[in-house]
Structure 1
């Protein structure tokens, strides 16, 4: 059975209207997706009034996020603070560049949990510089229970010269990385093991794939492009809604 879209819509509509400027339609209804309903745009994430920084001005994505918001939401959701900073920074950066995409931090966080437990899946963590303390490299995509993707990068990204493997905290495959690798932290070099770079790269790919993630069709299309498994989509949706609900309850 398909998961219900917008399962936690009723938890925080008033707060969302105040924070994001969303308005009801003619019939009094509001958007009903995890990103349309709980999108954290620049105004919401910079709740303390920090408005003089912009990604397009060269500010690293991680520095776009208000520290007070990070502290509150990390505590409310149990998302490691540095991971949350990567997700929220990427959502803010892509919001500046592609405002019609409507990608929320909570969707990136849902993907980050499912893919690598926010960088902790092998007992490591995301360091202060945004890089995972241990390499996170997935199983060989050899068609044995997984998609079959022969080696595309001569092992340069994943260390495997026979099959491709998903890599980094957002588990991006080499072919996707080759097309969408994006630098977010100001050092000029996209790093698949860095939560800021990988989150913004994932955001670019999601927006390209789904268009407007504030719609159900757009959101589902984007997540399906990331991983076509229905079970994967359901789990990301569960966590995206859970994180949004917990964050809104904290505000």
Structure 2
């Protein structure tokens, strides 16, 4: 947010993006086994002692040939379980690259077009805005917004009263108008602006005559204006880094935003190592 602090996960590395592949079970391995058995019954004989003659029985039992028992048929191999079905994505998620909801993509691209007209030297790319939106609010809680970009539920950061580790104490600057707290400030909207910063850069991104921090189009356009301030050019990696640090003074934050931005530009999801924990 324009303050700007956040959370995430992993270890520091930038600009390294490795394709993420899903592992789907191909099926179980089956083993078939068989066995056989045979019986051999000896002839019935009567033998005398060595000094006695062999007595011939009146009836001699014929040899009985016994057919070997047939080997049992092999047990049928267990059927391989079908591979698990891929989980169905919500319609909005399926519509965008790498899980960016379609309504968010529209807001980021709209902001890029507005800035191309108002601040062409900034070279703003929608993927950079998407990187910030991913880190700040997971694209407004996976695109929970109406067709005009207005959120179904407002997104508010923690109250900045010093009770949460890592957050500064920031006294109220807007009388609670935007964040509902007249004592302390809290970040507002999907791009997490402090009220004072929002009022300075607020931009109407969807042409409805107002700038609402809880609207995807307005917040994306305002974020672009904030990043471009001071004549920074997002096509220059060093200047882009300066701009992102203005958003949150943390190199781990920069690494996360850049990793997701590159992912949205290339279609290759970032590895865990590209997403360091933001303190």
- Structure 1 or 2: larger helix share? 1
Structure 1-normalised TM-score?
0.67
Aligned equivalent of 2:153: 134
Of 212, 215, 221 in structure 1, the residue corresponding to residue 233 of structure 2 is: 212
| Aligned-residue offset at 1:74 | 4.2
Question: Is 1:166–1:172's contact at 8 Å kept on the other side of the alignment?
Answer: yes
Counterpart position of 2:13: 3
8 Å contact kept, 1:2–1:234: yes
What is the TM-score when the length of structure 2 is the normalising length? Answer: 0.61
Gaps of 5+ in 1: 9-70
Post-superposition CA distance 1:88-132 (Å, at most 9, x none): 1101110111111011100100110111111117xx702111011
8 Å Cα contact 1:136-1:167 kept in structure 2: yes
Q: Is 1:102 equivalent to 2:112 in the alignment?
A: no
Which residue matches 2:141?
A: 120
Larger RCO (CA under 8 A, 6+ residues apart): 2
Aligned-pair distance for 1:3? 3.0
Residues 238 and 74 (structure 1 numbering): CA distance in 2 closer, same or farther, change over 3 Å? farther
Equivalent residue number for residue 232 of structure 1: 253
How many angstroms apart in 2 are the aligned matches of 1:244 and 1:210? 23
Point out the structure with max Rg over C-alpha: 2
Aligned CA RMSD, in angstroms, stands at 2.4
SS at match of 2:267: helix
**Distance change >3 Å, CA 75–CA 177, structure 1 → 2:** closer
